[in-house]
Homo-oligomer: A and B are copies of this chain.
């Protein structure tokens, strides 16, 4: 029903291939012919059939983006930025939500061909190192703080250093008993491990002891987890005078607990988070945080993918590791 090259060709009085050449910007087409074809395209409202194009070329023009959850403001922002960056290359982005489940992540890594995806930008939560190797040769870029030296290109901030910056901000304020919220045991929770390492490093740097009673675990990285962990901290004999939460949602949950108990922030307890999500700019008090350079992360991820894609059949070089800047944003929750 929709017009094809055939119909355009008939109307313009040229061969199918010539229309194809015009559509693809092939140089050796006489200006008059080109104009006639363009007019026919216009008149019929011709749009190339991408299924056929893909069948021929093997390229779909679609890349997948897989994140743990879109509801998390940080990932929502990253997703939006990646879609924008991809649009500049006229790629379409298929967004996939893994819920951080190993099974869904594995499905994704193994079952990509089903969706005819040219490449994948992936922020893994559950899967580690070798498990991430894609069966087929689909190019992939990893996002976030997992797996250095993994099997694919990788874009991330220096997670440990950023965590140290956050904690250092608290020590610089003169706080002595600094808690951490978001500790996770399982070996796959690399983000949590790295932030814990940064936290400990900053404490050592400031000459403060490490007190594991102040290192609060959290099941997930949501408000509820932060609220619960903060409550547990307050119920101990010697509560902290500052808290570094491994992300902003945890921090917002912690703030909620503090405020509902009437504990003044930052006077009695200072709070800092991680991610710089929008909510933190409107919380009470506003939330100090670490702001990763999200636009750059998105741009780099798309660029890396483009490089791998561009080379065509090249087995291509070794995986690259790219670091992106972050900065400390001091707001009310630490006394700004």
- Residue numbers of A with Cβ under 8 A of B are 2, 45, 47-52, 54-55, 60, 69-71, 73, 76-77, 79-80, 83, 92, 94-95, 97, 111, 113-116, 135-136, 223-224, 227, 252-253, 255-256, 259-260, 278-279, 281-284
Contact = CB atoms under 8 A, between A and B. Distances in A.
Nearest to A64: B92
Nearest to A136: B2
- Dominant secondary structure of chain A at its interface with chain B: helix
Work out how many copies of this chain go into the complex: 2
B97 A94 contact: no
A278 B51 contact: no
A47 to B, nearest CB: 5
Contacts of A83: 97
B80 A92 contact: no
Nearest to A259: B284
Contact of A283 (B2, B69, B94, B256): B256
Contacts of A116: 49-51
A95 B52 CA distance: 23
Contact of A70 (B49, B70, B135, B260): B70
Contacts of A283: 256
A92 B115 contact: yes
Contacts of A281: 223
Contacts of A95: 95
Nearest to A252: B282
Interface-central residue, A50, A79, A259, by most chain B CB under 10 Å: A50
Interface-central residue, A49, A252, A284, by most chain B CB under 10 Å: A284
Contacts of A260: 284
Contact of A73 (B51, B71, B253): B71
